[in-house]
């Protein structure tokens, strides 16, 4: 299944990653990885 992310959602996601990195080094990377894993689960099991 192909997942499309709306342009505005992608921008907000990038902003969130940056915000998390400002809170604690590496936290944005962890956040991105968690979200990517959840998207992959949806892709593999769209329900």
* Cα–Cα distance, 8 to 25 (Å, whole number): 25
Give the model confidence (pLDDT) of 14-24 as tens digits: 999 999 999 99
Percentage of the chain surpassing pLDDT 70?
Answer: 100
Is residue 17 within 8 Å of 32, Cβ to Cβ? yes
**Domain boundaries, given as residue ranges, for the chain:** 7-44
Instruction: Note the pTM of the prediction, 2 decimals.
Output: 0.84
pLDDT for position 4: 94
């Amino acid at each position: 299944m192909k997942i499309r992310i709306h342009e505005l959602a992608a921008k907000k996601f990038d902003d969130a990653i940056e915000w998390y990195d400002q809170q604690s080094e590496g936290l944005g990377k962890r956040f991105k990885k968690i979200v990517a894993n959840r998207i992959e689960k949806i892709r593999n099991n769209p329900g």
